[in-house]
Amino acid sequence: MTDLSSQSARSHLNRRNRHQTMIKGFGMAAIGFAALMLFILVSSLVSSGYKAFTQTHVTVEVFVDPAEIKPERLPRGGFDDVLLASLKTYFPEVSGRADEKALEGIFSNGAQFTLRDRIVADPSLIGQSITITVPTSDPFDQLAKDLVKRDTPEAQRRVSDREIGWFDTLDKAGAISEPLNWGLISNTDSRFPELAGLKGALMGSFWALLVCFVISFPLGIGAAIYLEEFAPRNRLSDFIEVNINNLAAVPSVVFGLLALAVFIGWMGMPRSAPLVGGMTLALMTLPTIIIATRAALKAVPPSIREAALGVGASKHQVVFGHVLPLAMPGILTGTIIGLAQALGETAPLLLIGMNAFITSAPDSPLDSATALPTQIFIWADSPERGFVSRTSAAILVLLTFLITMNAIAIYLRSKFERKW
Amino acid sequence: MTTSAFACLLVFSLIGYVWNRQAATAIRKDGARLHSLVGFHGAYSLLVVLVPALVVILLWLLLQGPVIDALLKSGLTSRLDGLGTGEVQLIVAEIKSIARGVVFGTPEPWKVDAAQHLVTLQMRAGQLLLVVVAAMSLALVVVSRRKVSAEFRARHGVERIISGLMIFCSVVAVFVTIGIVASLMFETSKFFAKVSFVEFLFGTNWEPQIPLREDQVAAEGAFGWLPVMLGTLVITVIALVIAVPVGLMSAIYLNEFAPRKFRAVAKPLLEILAGVPTVVYGFFAILVVAPAIRNFGQSLGLDVSPNTALAAGGVMGVMLIPFISSFADDALSAVPQSLRDGALGLGATRAEMMTGVLFPAAIPGIVGGVLLAVSRAIGETMIVVMAAGLIAKMTMNPLDSVTTVTVQIVTLLIGDTSFDNPKTLAAFALGMMLFIVTLIINIFALRIVRKYREAYD
């Protein structure tokens, strides 16, 4: 019999308690590490991305010179010269082709097209003075957002001292504004960061997810009902089950290879089309939906089935009239989570060419398009500085969609979940 | 045309539904006892029309493209004779774009004629499809209408069709697997016809550049996958070094020590980490992690490559933390309460109970989870495509830049369509290896997990 109050026993106990404290400490440190990583991830995205939600604009008074823009030649005309003339009212001292070119660089490349569209829509503006607000080009946008530091040596800066002087003059004159950047949602992709937007990617993702849903939802539910409620327990159904579980763990890039070889190579479907993307995503979402549906069907208690069978319903009537409606909230939750995964999936879409540079939004699932995650990939690869914050902003848009979808799934689950 | 075929199909099936239902109702009004409810008579007609016609339309759409292409080419044999496959594809693409109304410059007249021919063919195909679908639906509506009688077992018919559809749905998953295996095997066999199997499997040189033109001076291309596999291993090991301890410790803490309220917050937090798309992790790696590691390494006087394996592997490790922790949590929870009670009753502290009893009992489940994480890490694409290197080197230095199987697959295939050179085919060979390796790990892991679950049930 050991003496529990002896020195050795107490030190032994202390050691054991220290061991426990240590393990708890490790556990808390591990969770702390994960939380810290999540925090760094989100905060770095927000801090680099929020700046892309505004866009520096410059407002100028433009005299639509009939000498440069002739009604009969529309939509052609010297729109850039007219814009330059409007800037020269501020800076009459600028002359010479090279300097004028530099001054014109304040405007985004899309400015002349904004002006053109306005005049084409209303040719009576020719000969009048109109006020027009257009995005500035990327270097000046960076300058306005303080991403280009004024105290760095001029040689290492993307804007020269003279350009900063122009910008400040315009700023003092009240011509510079930083409104919300609706172009991020309403523009399509562009080589110029200040003009690039997500419209094409959003539409592409929409079509791809629609195709994915239309294919995977009925197929998944059908397969799950058969395997859970009807299939005899034999080798074949075992094989199918193992197959589905393995399919859920196949790397996504392999699905891309399958799509490339079968859908595009063999069936001759168009590259870069959301239809092909959606079909690929459907194959990947299928196992998720099947597994979720089976779990939801399993959760419906057997008493429901027995009661329905007892009053004379056929097996099909039991399943489709009673079990399936009760399992529907669980099935929908699983489907939404599966679609959210599909929305964030990138690798298979890269292989089928949904990372092309496309400047128009798709009107149908057969048009070439990008998707949100592939657009993020394209922008992350672009060398222009302005695309860094655009990429973060696009990621924030994608995360917003994912959070919304998951929130709907959680709401559905908590609202309709029944405890039997 | 396709839309009108679908519309036609829909209209006919609805007509069939209403017609049969009315016929059944009329029989019932006459005083006969029907075997099936009138709704089943209607549904029988609906399905009998809908299913076969839908199959016909889908098959038609699938085969229409290749058949029209073949017809187009057969009309142009005199022009296309003696040309390579690439040139033929170019000409066909040009004719197609002319047919769509997109004309660049002045195409040769025979191409315009061919485009005209193509338009006619496409229109004929559409009309033919419409006629076939309409005739078929009409016939099926009439056939199913004639079956309506008091004794007709419409419900059984409907249930048989629905069962058939459901069996088809469950077999699709098998077809997908077969499709993956078949397409990978097919392209891989073409690859091994050009590059020797031994060279691929044991070669230590991976330089998939090939001359684009006959006269171009370029490297012949080397296809030894060992350096690529080594790079994959390096990144996987780095990821696991981070994910396994952190995931396991957090699972142990959450499972045994955490207060209920803390658990309710921490678990969803970890799950958020699992729900972040991998492209986001990739951007995180190049935006934050890689520069941080590089700066830190430089401050220690180390030479760190801009796309060091540490950045890609580390971020991948963060991605895998929730994966491992949720598997370990499940495995720990599955250990029966009696084992916990027994250990505590003998006077063990909770930490001793965890390390001495629970953890060993849960080892099989945890190992299964870790194995699944390994297969995820090997197959993970976006993080490494964005943050890892492109050049294959035989190195195990984590500060150096390495490449992985998935990076090579993506870079070899982006922007390339022709499947007739070793460069693109190599991607399929790598994909095949990736599929085989992950499949073996998955089957092994799922078996361990399943076997373990059965032990305590």
Shortest distance between the Cα of B281 and any Cα of chain A, in A, equals 8
Using DSSP, state whether B363 is helix, strand or coil. helix
pLDDT for residue A308:
95
The ipTM is 0.90
Residue A30: its chain B contacts at CB < 8 A?
A: 245-250, 253
Region B320-328: what's the mean pLDDT?
93
Q: What is the pLDDT of residues B441-457, one digit of tens each?
A: 988 888 887 776 656 65
- B268 residue type, one letter: P
Confidence of residue A9 (pLDDT cuts 50, 70, 90): confident
Among A322-336, A347-361, B82-96, whose mean pLDDT is lowest? B82-96
Confidence of residue B109 (pLDDT cuts 50, 70, 90): confident
Residue A255: its chain B contacts at CB < 8 A?
A: 180
pLDDT for residue B219:
57
Q: What mean pLDDT, rounded, does chain A reach?
A: 88
Q: What is the pLDDT of residues B401-412, one digit of tens each?
A: 889 999 999 988
**Chain A contact probe: residue of B89, B166, B375, B385 with most A CBs at under 10 A:** B166
Task: Provide CB contacts within 8 A for A249, sequence distance 6+.
Answer: B372, B375, B376, B438, B442, B446
DSSP letter for each residue of A357-383: ---S--SSTTS----HHHHHHHHHH--
Of A287, A380, A395, the CB nearest to B286: A380
Shortest distance between the Cα of B206 and any Cα of chain A, in A, equals 20
Q: Is the peptide bond before A75 cis (omega within 30 degrees of 0)?
A: yes
Are A350 and A380 in contact by the 8 Å Cβ rule? The answer is no
pLDDT for residue A192:
87
Q: What is the widest separation between alpha-carbon atoms in chain B? A: 98
* A376–B180 C-beta distance less than 8 A: no
**Chain B contact probe: residue of A215, A237, A254 with most B CBs at under 10 A:** A254
Of B273, B351, B386, the CB nearest to A38: B273
Q: What is the pLDDT of residues B340-350, one digit of tens each?
A: 999 999 999 99
pLDDT greater than 70 at residue B323: yes
Q: What is the pLDDT of residues A66-91, one digit of tens each?
A: 888 887 777 777 788 888 888 888 88
Confidence of residue B116 (pLDDT cuts 50, 70, 90): confident
pLDDT greater than 80 at residue B381: yes
Shortest distance between the Cα of A13 and any Cα of chain B, in A, equals 10
Q: What is the pLDDT of residues B27-47, one digit of tens each?
A: 988 888 888 888 899 999 999
* A253–B379 C-beta distance less than 8 A: yes
pLDDT greater than 80 at residue A419: no
Question: Which residue, among A306, A289, A304, has the nearest Cα to A244 in the 3D structure?
Answer: A289
Q: Would you tell me how many other CB atoms lie within 10 Å of the CB of residue A233? A: 8
Shortest distance between the Cα of B308 and any Cα of chain A, in A, equals 17
Please tell me which residue of chain B has the smallest CA distance to A262.
Answer: B183
The two counts, helices (H) then strands (E), for chain A are 17, 3
Are A185 and A197 in contact by the 8 Å Cβ rule? The answer is yes
Q: What letter would DSSP give residue B105?
A: S
Residue B321: its chain A contacts at CB < 8 A?
A: 34, 37
pLDDT for residue B214:
56
Region A142-170: what's the mean pLDDT?
84
Q: What mean pLDDT, rounded, does chain B reach?
A: 87
pLDDT for residue B211:
59
What percent of chain A has pLDDT above 90?
44
Cα A37–Cα A40–Cα A41 angle in degrees, nearest 5: 85
Task: Provide CB contacts within 8 A for B393, sequence distance 6+.
Answer: B227, B231, B400, B401, B402, B403
Please tell me which residue of chain A has the smallest CA distance to B411.
Answer: A351
Confidence of residue B389 (pLDDT cuts 50, 70, 90): confident
Which residues is A120 bridged to in the sheet?
A: none
Alpha-carbon distance of B207 to B403, in angstroms, equals 12
Interface check for B6 against chain A (CB to CB < 8 A): the answer is no
Residue A350: its chain B contacts at CB < 8 A?
A: 385, 410, 414
Tokens (6 digits) for A128? 């009048």
pLDDT for residue A294:
93
Residue B250: its chain A contacts at CB < 8 A?
A: 27, 30-31, 34
pLDDT for residue B220:
65
This prediction has a pTM of 0.89
The pairs formed by A151-156 with CB atoms below 8 angstroms and a separation of 24 or more are none
* B245–A380 C-beta distance less than 8 A: no
Interface check for B278 against chain A (CB to CB < 8 A): the answer is yes
Shortest distance between the Cα of A226 and any Cα of chain B, in A, equals 6
Are B395 and B381 in contact by the 8 Å Cβ rule? The answer is no
Shortest distance between the Cα of A220 and any Cα of chain B, in A, equals 7
Residue A294: its chain B contacts at CB < 8 A?
A: none
Alpha-carbon distance of B261 to B248, in angstroms, equals 20
Hey, which residues 360-399 in chain B have their CB within 8 Å of chain A?
372, 375-376, 378-382, 385-386
Residue B325: its chain A contacts at CB < 8 A?
A: 34
Of B184, B187, B410, the CB nearest to A347: B410
Cα B162–Cα B166–Cα B167 angle in degrees, nearest 5: 115
Shortest distance between the Cα of B165 and any Cα of chain A, in A, equals 7
Of A19, A283, A380, the CB nearest to B386: A380
Alpha-carbon distance of B113 to B125, in angstroms, equals 18
Place of tokens 């780095």: B238
pLDDT for residue B415:
62
Confidence of residue A285 (pLDDT cuts 50, 70, 90): very high
Hey, which residues 418-447 in chain B have their CB within 8 Å of chain A?
419, 427-428, 431, 434-435, 438-439, 442-443, 446
Region A213-240: what's the mean pLDDT?
92
Q: What is the pLDDT of residues A86-139, one digit of tens each?
A: 888 888 888 888 888 888 888 888 888 888 888 888 888 888 888 888 888 888
Shortest distance between the Cα of B173 and any Cα of chain A, in A, equals 6
pLDDT for residue A1:
55
Hey, which residues 74-133 in chain B have their CB within 8 Å of chain A?
none
Please tell me which residue of chain B has the smallest CA distance to A352.
Answer: B414
Q: What is the pLDDT of residues B151-207, one digit of tens each?
A: 889 899 999 999 999 999 998 888 999 999 999 999 899 888 888 888 888 888 888
pLDDT for residue A313:
92
Confidence of residue A29 (pLDDT cuts 50, 70, 90): very high
- Residue A58: phi and psi, rounded to 5, are -120, 135
- H or E stretch including A62? strand A57-63
CA-CA-CA-CA dihedral for B328, B329, B330, B334, to nearest 10: 100
* B249–A27 C-beta distance less than 8 A: yes
Interface check for B413 against chain A (CB to CB < 8 A): the answer is yes
Please tell me which residue of chain A has the smallest CA distance to B444.
Answer: A246
Tokens (6 digits) for A160? 């020269």
Sheet holding A57-63, edge to edge: A129-135, A57-63, A176-177
According to CATH, the superfamily of the domain at A199-416 is MetI-like (1.10.3720.10)
Tokens (6 digits) for B108? 């040769």
* A16–B352 C-beta distance less than 8 A: yes
Q: Is the peptide bond before B277 cis (omega within 30 degrees of 0)?
A: no
Task: Name all domains of chain B by residue range, CATH numbers in brackets.
Answer: 2-180 (no CATH), 222-456 (1.10.3720.10)
Region A278-282: what's the mean pLDDT?
95
Shortest distance between the Cα of B274 and any Cα of chain A, in A, equals 10
Domain boundaries, chain A: 53-181, 199-416
pLDDT for residue B102:
72
Residue A375: its chain B contacts at CB < 8 A?
A: none
pLDDT for residue A131:
87
Q: Checking phi first, is residue A306 left (phi over 0); if not, alpha (psi -120 to 50) or beta?
A: alpha
Are A227 and A294 in contact by the 8 Å Cβ rule? The answer is yes
Please tell me which residue of chain B has the smallest CA distance to A41.
Answer: B284
Q: Would you tell me how many other CB atoms lie within 10 Å of the CB of residue A419? A: 4
pLDDT greater than 60 at residue B215: no
Residue B278: its chain A contacts at CB < 8 A?
A: 344, 346-347
Q: What is the pLDDT of residues B242-293, one digit of tens each?
A: 999 999 999 999 998 999 999 989 988 888 898 899 999 999 999 999 999 9
Alpha-carbon distance of B433 to B415, in angstroms, equals 22
* B378–A251 C-beta distance less than 8 A: yes
* A376–B413 C-beta distance less than 8 A: no
Task: Provide CB contacts within 8 A for B315, sequence distance 6+.
Answer: B281, B282, B284, B285, B289, B383, B387
pLDDT for residue B277:
94
Q: Would you tell me how many other CB atoms lie within 10 Å of the CB of residue A243? A: 19
A369 or A77: whose pLDDT is higher? A369
Q: Checking phi first, is residue B267 left (phi over 0); if not, alpha (psi -120 to 50) or beta?
A: alpha
Region A297-311: what's the mean pLDDT?
94
Of B172, B266, B386, the CB nearest to A223: B172
